[in-house]
Amino acid sequence: MTPAKPAQGRSHLATLKTLLPYLWPADDPGLKLRVVAALVCLALAKVATVAVPVVLAAAVDALAPHEGPIAVPVALVAGYGLLRLAAAGFQELRDAVFARVAQAAIRAVGLRTFRHLHALSLRFHLDRQTGGLSRMVERGTRGIETVLRFALFSTLPTLVEIGLATVVIWAALGPLFAAIVFATLALYVAFTLLFTEWRVKFRRAMNETDQEANTKAVDSLLNYETVKYFNNEAHEAKRYEQALRAYERAAVKSQVTLNMLNLGQAAIIALGLTAVMLLAAHGAAAGTMTVGQFVMANTFLIQLYVPLNFLGFAYREIKQGLVDMEAMFRLLAEEREIADAPDARPLTVTAGEVRFEDVHFAYRPDREILHGVSFTVPPGATVAIVGSSGAGKSTISRLLFRFYDVNAGRITIDGQDIRSVTQDSLRRALGIVPQDTVLFNDTIRYNIRYGRPDATDAEVEQAARLARIHDFVVSTPDGYETRVGERGLKLSGGEKQRVAIARTILKNPPILVFDEATSALDTRTEREIQANLKELARDRTTLVIAHRLSTVMDADEILVLDHGRIVERGTHAALLARDGLYAEMWRRQAELAAAEAEAEAARVAEAAAD
C-alpha cells in the first residue's frame, strides 16, 4: 500500500485520498467485509430513521375518532417503536463492526509514520525537535479517528438522510414545504462551509503554538541537569509561559469564532423551523392537512435539523482533523536522503577490510569537511584517527554507518561499495561504542539486549561479564531489572560505557568503531574501559576515533586528520620520530596530563594532612 504523496499546501481532498487505502486494505479481505457490513447497517439505520415520522403520522391519524378496530393504531404505534429501535440498533451495530477497521487504519498509519521517521536521515532529525515531532504524530493519528468517525458515519449518512427526508416531505406535504426546507438547508450549509473555512486559520495557529509549547517543555525536561546547573528554572518557565500565552490567544480566538458559528447556525435553523411549522399549522387549521401530517412535519423537521445541526459540528471536526493530519502526511512525504538502491544486495563480510577511497564530504555545499580522505583498515587490524576538534573525525564514522552519503569517492567493505548494499546488512556488520552512550529509560537487561533483541538472558549476562559490569549489576537491589533512568542518567559514565560495550559484544559484529569512547571519562575509569575495549577489538577490524592520544598508542596505524585532510600516518613511534603535528599534540597532552597528576597529588596530600 503506497498512499499518495502529500505536499506543502496539499488540499483536504489529497489528504483524504492518502487515507482511503488504509480503509480498504488490499491484503485484508476480512476488513473489507467489515466495511461492507458497516455500510449496509448504515443504510438500514437511515431508512428506519426516515420511516419513523411517516409511521408516527399514520398512528396519529388512526387514533383520531373513528369506528375501526383498535388493533390498527396499536400496530402502528408498535411499528413506530420497532423502527426507532432498529434505527438505534443498526447504528450501534455499524459502529461496532467498523471499530476494527478504524483502529487498524490508525495503527497502520501510525506505524508507517514511525518507521518512516526512523528511515529519514540524520540531517532531518538534527533539524527537528523531538517534542514537536511526537505531538505532530499524536495529533495526526487522533485526526484520523476524528475524520473516520465524522466523515464516513456522520456527514455522509446525514446528507443521505436529509435527501430522503426532503423527498418524503415533497411527496407527503407538497413542494412549498420542500422548497422552504431546501432553502434552509442551502443557507445553513453555505454559512457553515464559509464560516468554517474562515476559522481554519485559528485552528492552525492553535496547532502551531501548541506544538511550540510542547517542544519547549520536552526540550527543557530532557536537559533537566543543564537547567539546574545554570539555575535557569525561571528562564525556562518564562519561555514556556510565552508559548502558552501564544496558545491561549489562538485558543480564545478559536472559541469565540466557534460561538459565533453556533449562533448563526441556530438562527438559520430557528427561522426555517418557524416557517415550516407556521405553514403546517395554517394547513391543519384550514383542513387541508390532517393532524397526523402536522405531527409528521414537526417530527421530520426536528429529526432533520438535529442531524443538520450535528452536520455543522461534524464538518468543523472533520476540518480540524484534516488540519491535524496534514502535518503528519507531510512527514510521510519527506524524501529519504539515504535510501537503498533498487538493486541493493546484502553486504557479505568475508575478511572485514574497510577502505575509504578519495572521500569528499560536506554537510553544506559551501563548507567541505573531508577533502579526499583515503585509508584502509586491514582485516583484524586497528586503525586510529586522531586530530583536533572539528577536524572531521566523527564525520568518518557517520559516513561509514551511512548516515550520510559521500559527495565524491567511495567507501567499501571487502570491496563492496556501501551504497550498493542494503543499509540493514551494513549496520548489522558494524558495532560502535560512542563517546556519549544514551541509554533507553528501561532496565539494564533491556539496554544490553538491545544489541541483539532475540538474545537469551544467559547471553545477556555473559556479555555483561565480558564487559566487566556483571558484578556491579548483581550488587544492585534489582539486578538486571534495575532501571537506568532517562538517557541512562542513573548510571555513572563508566557504567554507561560498560553497558555500551556489553551491548556491542552481544551484537558480535565483525567491524568495530570506537568513537571517542573514553574521552568523557576520568583517567582511572578510562584505563579500565580501555582494557575492555582491547578485549572487544581482538581479532576484529577496528576503527578508533580518538582525541586522547594515550588511548591509541597500540594501534597498527594512526592517521592524523587536520581540517579534513590526512596530514600524517604511521605507528605511534614512527609519528613521534617524525616530530610533526602528532608529536606536537602528544607533547601538549603529556604536559596537560602531568599538570593534572600534580594537582591530584596535591589534593591527596592536602586531604591526608587534614
Three-state SS annotation for 126-195: HHCCHHHHHHHHHHHHHHHHHHHHHHHHHHHHHHHHHHHHHHHHHHHHCHHHHHHHHHHHHHHHHHHHHH
Cell 473489507 maps to which residue? 32
Query: What percentage of residues in the chain have a pLDDT greater than 90?
Result: 19
pLDDT of residue 379: 93
**Cα(342)–Cα(436) distance, integer angstroms:** 34
| Average pLDDT, rounded, for the chain | 82
Between 2 and 340, where is the model more confident? 340
Q: What is the pLDDT of residue 289?
A: 78
pLDDT of residue 336: 77
For residues 421 and 506, the answer to whether their CB atoms sit within 8 Å is no
Region 331-358: mean pLDDT is 88
Check residue 358 and report its DSSP letter: E
Q: Which residue has the higher pLDDT, 172 or 428?
A: 428
Query: For the segment 532-579, what is each residue's pLDDT rounded down to a tens digit?
Result: 778 788 888 999 988 888 888 889 999 999 988 999 999 999 999 999
Quickly count: other Cβ atoms within 10 Å of residue 125's Cβ: 14
Q: Are 440 and 450 in contact (CB under 8 A)?
A: yes
SS3 578: helix
User: Which of the pair, 412 or 179, is modelled with greater confidence?
Assistant: 412
- Residue 425 has a pLDDT of 93
Q: For residue range 484-537, list pLDDT tens digits in order.
A: 887 677 888 788 888 888 888 899 899 989 887 766 566 666 677 777 778 788
pLDDT band (50, 70, 90) for residue 421: very high
pLDDT surpassing 50 at residue 6: no
C-alpha torsion sign, points 501, 505, 506, 507:
positive
State yes or no: pLDDT of 363 exceeds 50.
yes
Q: pLDDT for 281-297, tens place per residue?
A: 888 788 787 777 777 77
Query: What pLDDT is attached to residue 510?
Result: 92
Report how far residue 486's alpha carbon sits from residue 504's, in angstroms, rounded to the nearest whole number.
Answer: 21
* Residue 379 near residue 386, CB atoms below 8 Å: no
Rounded to an integer, what distance in angstroms lies between the CA atom of residue 426 and that of residue 300?
68
CA distance 259 to 417: 63
Residue 125 pLDDT class (50, 70, 90 cuts) = low
DSSP string, 512-538: EEEESTTTTS-HHHHHHHHHHHHHHHT
* Residue 512 CA neighbour count, 13 Å, CB half: 29
Q: How far apart are CA 163 and CA 167, in angstroms?
A: 6
Burial class, 337, CB count within 10 angstroms (exposed 0-12 / middle 13-18 / buried 19+): middle
d(Cα 171, Cα 493) in Å, to the nearest integer? 82
Q: Pull the grid cell for residue 257.
A: 469564532
What pLDDT is stored for residue 130 in this prediction?
58
pLDDT at 573: 92
Confidence of residue 161 (pLDDT cuts 50, 70, 90): confident
Residue 361 in this model has a pLDDT that exceeds 90: yes
Q: Which residues have CB under 8 Å from 600's CB, separation 6+?
A: none
Summarised one tens digit per residue, pLDDT across range 34-84 is: 888 988 888 888 888 888 888 887 887 777 665 555 566 778 888 888 988
CB within 8 Å of 351: residues ≥ 6 apart: 379, 380, 414, 541
The string of DSSP codes covering 25-81 is -TT-HHHHHHHHHHHHHHHHHHHHHHHHHHHHHHHHHHTSS-SS-THHHHHHHHHHH
DSSP label of 479? G
Q: Is the pLDDT of residue 4 over 80?
A: no
The pLDDT value recorded for residue 121 is: 64
Q: How far apart are CA 285 and CA 3, in angstroms?
A: 60
Residue 143 has pLDDT above 50, yes or no: yes
pLDDT for 5 equals 41
- What is the structure's pLDDT at 2? 39
User: pLDDT, tens digit, for every residue of 165-198?
Assistant: 778 888 878 888 888 877 887 888 788 878 877 8
Domains of the chain in start order, with CATH, are: 12-333 (1.20.1560.10), 347-429+511-610 (3.40.50.300), 436-508 (3.40.50.300)
Residue 377: closest CA among 404, 349, 347? 349
Looking at residue 8, what is its pLDDT? Answer: 45
Asked if pLDDT for residue 126 goes beyond 70, the answer is no
Q: Which of 212-226, 349-363, 588-602 has the lowest mean pLDDT?
A: 588-602
Mean pLDDT of the 100-113 span: 82
Please give the pLDDT value at position 487.
Answer: 65
Q: Quote the percentage of the chain above a pLDDT of 70.
A: 90
Identify which of 356, 354, 352 has the alpha carbon closest to the alpha carbon of residue 380. 352
- What pLDDT is attached to residue 10? 53
* Measured distance CA(316)–CA(220) in Å, rounded: 34
Q: Among 253-262, 295-304, 497-506, where is mean pLDDT lowest?
A: 295-304
Kindly tell me if the per-residue pLDDT of 419 is higher than 60: yes
